[in-house]
């Protein structure tokens, strides 16, 4: 590697660290993203122009056209995507990164070990290549499944004993990989077998996971893509890949832990255990009874109009209905009538961490009005009306008072302490894993059924007439 290229890689590595640091603060985030992007550009251009050996022109042309094609596709996707679709997009890009790593693994396997190799590679190189193939494959199919589930084209599929099956497959995968590495085989069939097994595992790993658990899965897959990139970096002894990949890997892991904490799960139970599984739901024997009070948009409007303090709790239903603009309109209208309105943001509301913040930012909601869970919980007893829009598990009191509930112990928004509660939902259908929500049967709760966008629009027009 030429000295110039090494220095360029060093610069790129520094921009990654600095950029990621800046991305963590609201004022510098945009510059941080740009800094990393420039560093990435430097690394890419440097790699192409400062190649060690003589490279035929045709290869340069191929690389150039690959970058042009992919760059344009990436740009168009990024410009066109709706903000409600961010979780899908991140999953899709994750899958691409993973696929890229696995393709590199295949080529290097052929070159170092398989048919094209002249001498036997060392066990460490084989292990590295195999790790790249396995992690790249799991990330690839796992992310594609996550993407398909998020955009609604695939439902949760739960086989009986799927946990057992997945765990056996995982152990088998590790054993198989060790076998190939120790055997120092040049058999391409074994490698493709491993590839297929990894792809299947990635698929099965995400398939049973329910929608509400997606934030954890997405950040875990994000972390895995980083690790896959870092492993290919080890293969090429390439520092920018190694450091860049590891940064993403550990950052993703931190977010994964944060999400786990917000849902009161351990990471081990996420990977190997009952993860939003039917087994757990069956354990919650307590059924919630009582009558549900239905309300109308006009009654809700009256209630909201004569309140002093209103808290809005947005959830995934808001994103599905694309109701982020209407809710902002409602909030502004109420504020103009002298009502104090805030939004309560649960860490795992939506389908990826911080999803609600992005949506509300898109519709220009004031940053100061978004209050995090720990800060808003003490103020619920002084709140006149809580308006829950498309959220369910994050406001379920069972987390506090039903030890048999799968979500028992999960930190929630204590909306039941408010004086009145209005819940907007499409139907009485429970959230993930079929947990009933006793909040809906609470004396203080009024159910406003309907699509979030339609219901809120009606609410806004009722308020305007007052």
Partner 1 sequence: MDQFLEFISSNLQLFYILILAIFIGFELIKNVPTVLHTPLMSGANALSGVVIVGAILVMLQSNPEDYLALSLGFIAVVLGIINVVGGFAVTDRMLQMFKKKK
Q: Where in 339-378 is the site for partner 1 (CB under 8 A)?
A: 345, 347, 352-355, 357-358, 361-362, 364-367, 370, 372
Task: Please pick, from the candidates 202, 208, 210, 233, the single residue that binds partner 1 as defined by CB under 8 A.
Answer: 233
**Which candidate, 464, 364, 373, 371, places its Cα nearest to that of 410?**
373
Region 121-140 residues binding partner 1, contact defined as CB under 8 A:
122-124
Choose the binding region for partner 1 from 222-230, 301-309, 411-419, 457-465 (rule: CB under 8 A). Answer: 222-230
C-beta closer to partner 1: residue 114 or 406? 114
C-beta closer to partner 1: residue 73 or 165? 73
Q: State the Cα–Cα distance between residues 313 and 389, nearest whole angstrom.
A: 6
Residue 438 Cβ vs partner 1, minimum distance, rounded to whole Å: 27
Q: State the Cα–Cα distance between residues 20 and 205, nearest whole angstrom.
A: 29
Task: Please pick, from the candidates 6, 11, 14, 51, the single residue that binds partner 1 as defined by CB under 8 A.
Answer: 51
Beta carbons of 103 and 62 less than 8 angstroms apart: no
C-beta closer to partner 1: residue 232 or 383? 232
Beta carbons of 113 and 132 less than 8 angstroms apart: no
Beta carbons of 244 and 382 less than 8 angstroms apart: no
Task: State the binding string over 306-345 for partner 1 (x if CB under 8 A, else -).
Answer: ---------------------------------------x
Partners of 339 in beta bridges: none
Q: State the Cα–Cα distance between residues 420 and 418, nearest whole angstrom.
A: 6
Task: For residue 121, count other CB atoms closer than 10 A to its CB.
Answer: 19
Residue 217 Cβ vs partner 1, minimum distance, rounded to whole Å: 12
213, 393, 402, 414: the active-site residue: 393
Choose the binding region for partner 1 from 120-128, 149-157, 327-335, 423-431 (rule: CB under 8 A). Answer: 120-128
Residue 62 Cβ vs partner 1, minimum distance, rounded to whole Å: 6
Q: How many helices (H) and strands (E) does the chain have?
A: 18, 6
- Residues contacting 29, CB < 8 A, separation 6+: 22, 23
Q: State the Cα–Cα distance between residues 282 and 286, nearest whole angstrom.
A: 10
Choose the binding region for partner 1 from 61-69, 168-176, 306-314, 418-426 (rule: CB under 8 A). Answer: 61-69
Task: Please pick, from the candidates 6, 11, 14, 33, the single residue that binds partner 1 as defined by CB under 8 A.
Answer: 33
93 near partner 1 (CB under 8 A): yes
Region 377-416 residues binding partner 1, contact defined as CB under 8 A:
none
- Degrees, nearest 5: CA angle 395-398-402: 165
Residue 169 Cβ vs partner 1, minimum distance, rounded to whole Å: 25
C-beta closer to partner 1: residue 37 or 165? 37
Q: Which stretches within 184-238 are classed as H helix? A: 188-206, 214-235
- Residues contacting 425, CB < 8 A, separation 6+: 317, 390, 392, 440, 447, 448, 449
Choose the binding region for partner 1 from 252-260, 273-281, 331-339, 451-459 (rule: CB under 8 A). Answer: 252-260
Asked if 393 is an active-site residue, the reply is: yes
> Tokens representing 280?
């757990």
Q: How many residues bind partner 1 (CB under 8 A)?
A: 112
Catalytic residues: 393
């Amino acid at each position: 590697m030429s000295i110039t290229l090494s220095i360029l890689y060093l610069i790129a590595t520094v921009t990654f660290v600095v950029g990621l640091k800046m991305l963590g603060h609201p004022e510098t985030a945009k510059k941080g993203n740009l800094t990393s992007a420039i560093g990435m550009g430097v690394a890419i251009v440097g790699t192409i122009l400062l190649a060690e050996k003589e490279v035929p022109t045709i290869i340069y042309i191929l690389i150039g056209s690959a970058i042009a094609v992919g760059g344009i596709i990436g740009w168009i996707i990024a410009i066109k995507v709706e903000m409600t679709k961010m979780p899908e997009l991140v999953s899709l890009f994750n899958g691409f990164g993973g696929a890229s790593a696995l393709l590199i693994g295949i080529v290097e396997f052929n070159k170092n070990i398989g048919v094209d190799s002249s001498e036997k590679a060392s066990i460490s190189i084989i292990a590295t290549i195999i790790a790249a193939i396995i992690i790249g494959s799991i990330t690839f199919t796992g992310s594609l499944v996550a993407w398909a589930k998020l955009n609604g084209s695939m439902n949760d599929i739960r086989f009986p004993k799927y946990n057992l099956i997945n765990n056996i497959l995982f152990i088998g995968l590790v054993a198989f990989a060790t076998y190939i590495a120790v055997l120092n085989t040049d058999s391409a069939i074994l490698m493709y077998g491993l590839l297929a097994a990894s792809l299947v595992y990635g698929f099965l790993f995400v398939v049973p996971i329910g929608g509400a658990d997606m934030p954890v899965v997405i950040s875990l897959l994000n972390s895995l893509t980083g690790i896959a990139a870092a492993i290919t970096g080890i293969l090429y002894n390439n520092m920018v890949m190694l450091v860049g990949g590891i940064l993403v890997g550990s950052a993703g892991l931190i977010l994964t832990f944060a999400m786990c904490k917000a849902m009161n799960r351990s990471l081990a139970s996420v990977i190997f255990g009952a993860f939003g599984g039917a087994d757990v739901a069956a354990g919650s024997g307590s059924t919630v009874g009582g009558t549900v009070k239905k309300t109308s948009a006009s009654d809700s409007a009256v209630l909201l109009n004569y309140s002093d303090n209103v808290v809005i709790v947005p959830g995934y239903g808001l994103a599905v209905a694309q109701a982020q603009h209407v809710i902002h309109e409602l909030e502004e209208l109420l504020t103009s009538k002298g009502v104090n309105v805030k939004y309560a943001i649960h860490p795992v509301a939506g389908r990826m961490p911080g999803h609600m913040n992005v949506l509300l930012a898109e519709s220009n909601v004031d940053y100061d009005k978004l209050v995090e869970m720990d800060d808003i919980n003490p103020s619920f007893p002084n709140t006149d009306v809580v308006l829950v829009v498309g959220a369910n598990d994050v406001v379920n009191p069972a987390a506090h008072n039903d030890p048999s509930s799968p979500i028992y112990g999960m930190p929630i928004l204590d909306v039941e302490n408010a004086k009145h509660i209005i819940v907007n939902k499409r139907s009485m259908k429970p959230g993930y894993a079929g947990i009933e929500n006793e909040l809906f049967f609470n004396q203080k709760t009024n159910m406003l059924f309907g699509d979030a966008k339609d219901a809120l629009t009606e609410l806004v027009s009722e308020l305007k007439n007052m």
